[in-house]
Chain A
């Protein structure tokens, strides 16, 4: 009878094994602000120059571009939020056992240091299609303990609105 209880353990743990993954071909919620009509009566290269200037003005670095495709990729790295250094469970799973402390002395509840912070990496692509301009943006956050997480697309609408405005500003 007791052996039946043992079978319950893997059954219960099986729930932890899988995680919800979006299928590769499934579209995400589209952000209407990140698509606009291609400007009429304007060379693609001229528009691309404006896009690059606007991106660089916002602190992006050009990563790759191809004018035959009308594709511009850029990225930007910025400082993220501060993280508590030496907080229990922060760095190692065995931290709380008294192991894996950093040298001088363990901070029991963590300490803040201006260099110990997350780093946000933004990757942006602008595609100048035949009749549409599409902007894509993906933000990764690197935690100081080495974990990398993908942030959602929550800020994309605002970003695209700002980018479009600064592209049109560059035009004058």
Chain B
């Protein structure tokens, strides 16, 4: 009987490992700058901070960066006159909490000269 309980407890404990990891949630922000300018600013910012670009496409509006264990994806969409930027991040393959990406968005705004 004791063995059954141990088996049940082990199964319960292991079930926590089976859950799928949550998908990365984007941190989005509307910017009053056209998309090409935003992408250039993002490249300028990230390469300055020591990130390596894994790839990007101007028409697709996507850039991908890596630095050590961190991976950042930038999605830029046109929105009227301006654009909408979404940042997603992973550390060691695990999604980062959106609030961790806030400083990057602020620096991106500063790069574009949109901060007061």
Contact = CB atoms under 8 A, between A and B. Distances in A.
Interface stretch (B2-10, B13-21, B68-76, B77-85): B68-76
B59 A138 contact: no
A129 B63 CA distance: 15
Contacts of A169: none
Instruction: Classify chain B's interface size.
Output: 20 to 34
Contacts of A123: 52, 54, 66
A64 B52 contact: no
Contact of B43 (A21, A28, A69): A69
Interface in B60-116: 63, 66-70, 72, 89, 91, 96, 100-101, 103-104, 106-107
Contact of A71 (B53, B66, B70): B53
Interface residues of A, number: 27
A37 to B, nearest CB: 15
A125 B53 contact: yes
B53 A150 contact: no
A83 interface: no
Interface in B30-76: 36, 39-40, 43-44, 47-59, 63, 66-70, 72
A66 interface: yes
A63 B101 contact: no
A127 interface: yes
Contacts of B103: 23-25
A73 B54 contact: yes
A119 interface: no
Contact of B101 (A24, A64, A124): A24
A64 B104 contact: no
11 contacts: A22-B68, A25-B49, A28-B67, A63-B55, A66-B58, A69-B43, A71-B55, A73-B56, A125-B52, A134-B47, A137-B52
The 4 closest A-B pairs by CB, nearest first: A64-B55, A68-B58, A28-B50, A125-B53
Given A66-B58, A69-B40, 17 more contacts: A23-B103, A24-B96, A24-B101, A25-B104, A64-B55, A66-B56, A68-B59, A69-B43, A69-B58, A73-B53, A73-B54, A123-B66, A125-B54, A127-B47, A129-B40, A137-B52, A138-B66
Interface of B: 36, 39-40, 43-44, 47-59, 63, 66-70, 72, 89, 91, 96, 100-101, 103-104, 106-107
